[in-house]
Chains A and B, each alone.
Chain A
Amino acid sequence: MADLSPSRAITVTVNGVEYEREVEARKLLIHFIRDDLDLTGSHIGCDTGNCGACSVIVDGRLVKSCMQLAVQADGATIETVEGLSEDGALTELQQAFSDHHALQCGYCTPGMLMSATALLRERPSPTEDEIRKALQGNICRCTGYWNIFEAVKAAGGSA
């Protein structure tokens, strides 16, 4: 029978790389990704799971990594912003963000990119309403969102 324990050894695959680590049960997945794995692209913007700056894709589903324990990701396949581009070349989505000035300070951007990536996988040519709904869980304080919508529309080929 499974025992209650304060920590456990977990194995996660992040952006194609497998990691084995011992973690405290209380550690949030976002802290594991940032502090233990040194993948600092995903960010923390709030204490309450509202801002979405920590959004990553776990086993194909977009989640807020601050609302999950690292131990819960044992065996999971995780994608973060660092895994989007290959060989440092910007993807169409990332380029669209730059072209449309969908970022200013860049702090919300990784979360926005992951949410947009999840959307475009399911809906390659999303409508404006679908984009709005898909980005509902991501807050931006700089841009006013308009350029982000335009960038996602452009990347979706429905601009």
Chain B
Amino acid sequence: MLLRAVDYAKPDSVAEAVELLAANDGARALAGGQTLINVMKARAASPDGLVDLNGLDDLKGIDLAADGTLTIGAMATYADIASSAEARARPILGEVCLQIADVQVRNRGTIGGNLCSNDPTNHLPPLVCAIGARMTIVSGGGERTIPADEFFVGVYLTAVGPGELLKSITVPAGTHDGFAAVTLGADGTCIANAAASVGGDGSVRLALGCVAAVPVVVAPASDAEEDVRAAVRGAGLEPPADVHASSEYRAHLAEVLSVRAIRQAAGKR
């Protein structure tokens, strides 16, 4: 409940932020804090310094381009996304954000924080994989953009390296998406989840959360239930077991939720 002593800075610009992170090995980015502050309260991890990103308006925008490309700043909160008119170009984003925790958390928690913390039970990593998002990472040396599939590297690990920040998430417009989860209580932590997207050409993308260190992306042959189940079974899942679910149960849920997510997505065609 009580943090260890920590240094703190609140930069005014993205350039300043990455400079601070690059210059201070033990410093970490502080986004919404809905995960990091809790971790520090438990003293499970205690960074030497915190670089507060909440002053960086450049990272908060939600912009819809004429061609339907949606760009969401990493510091956009779940509440921002859920209430954004622009974000309705890809409605699944707001729908899923509204399933995260509660009002208080949604007012502070950010899409960037959710993606960069990459907790295997998070909602957004599988979602951005399913909808083919691209992540733009900024550092002192410039920017680079990579597909979601390459962004998630391991438990709590992403492609964002020391001295770097996730800047924005880019997503094409679309409505044929679905998301299904089994959670601990309403809007609670996910025990298992699945995100799906059905393309206009009938292609299907499916991303499974909670079953491995990073989202497991699967491409069923079609959106038919047998193909979906076959694809999930063929993915060689070895989900972790914990107090909430055995490995077998998680694998079973992955299949069930995949069917639901794809049914949702296909139903919106």
Residues of A within 8 A of B (CB): 1-6, 8, 24-28, 44, 47-49, 52, 55, 61-64, 66-69, 71-72, 74, 115, 118-119, 133-134, 136-138
A6 smallest CB distance to B (angstroms) = 5
- Tell which of B6, B33, B52, B102 touches A26, judged by Cβ atoms closer than 8 Å: B6
Q: Are B105 and A8 in contact (CB under 8 A)?
A: no
- The number of chain B residues with a CB under 8 A from chain A is 40
Q: Does B10 contact A (CB under 8 A)?
A: yes
20 contacts between A and B (CB under 8 A): A1-B19, A1-B20, A4-B27, A5-B7, A8-B8, A26-B2, A26-B6, A44-B1, A48-B41, A49-B37, A49-B38, A61-B107, A67-B104, A69-B33, A71-B8, A72-B30, A115-B103, A134-B103, A136-B187, A137-B102
Contact between B38 and A61, CB atoms less than 8 A apart: no
Prevailing SS type, chain B contact patch = mixed
A27 to B2, CA, bound (A): 8
Contact A2 B10 (CB under 8 A): yes
Contacts known (A72-B33, A72-B52); A64 close to B104, Cβ less than 8 A: yes
A69: B residues at CB distance < 8 A: 8, 33, 37, 50
| CB atoms of A55 and B8 under 8 A apart | no
A residues within 8 A CB of B38? 48-49, 67
Cβ contact within 8 Å between A4 and B7: yes
Query: Within the complex, what minimum Cβ distance (angstroms) separates A9 from chain B?
Result: 12
The reply on B54 being an interface residue by CB < 8 A is yes
Q: Taking the complex as formed, is B241 at the interface, i.e. its CB lies under 8 A from any CB of chain A?
A: no
Q: Name the one of A4, A62, A64 contacting B49, with C-beta atoms under 8 angstroms.
A: A4
Q: Once the chains are docked, how many angstroms separate the CA of A66 from the CA of B1?
A: 9
In the complex, what residue of chain B is closest to A5 when comparing beta carbons?
B7
- What's the minimum C-beta distance from B84 to chain A, rounded to whole angstroms? 15
Q: What residues of A have a CB within 8 angstroms of the CB of B20 in the complex?
A: 1-2, 4
Q: Which residues of B contact A3 (CB under 8 A)?
A: 9
Within 8 Å of chain A (Cβ to Cβ): is B66?
A: no
- Inter-chain residue pair count (beta carbon < 8 A): 114
**How distant is the Cα of A44 from the Cα of B42 in the complex, in angstroms?**
15
Chain B residues contacting A62 (CB-CB under 8 Å) are 103-104, 107
> Do A6 and B6 touch (CB < 8 A)?
yes
Out of A25, A47, A52, A115, which one reaches B7, CB within 8 Å?
A25
Q: Tell yes or no: B158 within 8 A of A by CB.
A: no
A2 to B16, CA, bound (A): 8
Chain A neighbourhood of B49, CB < 8 A: 4
B11 touches A (CB below 8 Å): yes
CA distance A49 to B105 in the complex (A): 9
Known pairs A4-B24, A5-B7 / 11 extra A-B pairs, C-beta < 8 Å: A6-B8, A48-B38, A62-B103, A62-B107, A66-B37, A67-B34, A67-B38, A133-B103, A136-B186, A137-B104, A138-B102
The CA-CA distance from A24 to B6 in the complex, in Å, is 8
> Which residues from A are CB-within-8-Å of B42?
47-48
**Is B238 an interface residue, CB under 8 A from the partner?**
no
Q: Which residues of B contact A63 (CB under 8 A)?
A: 104, 107-108
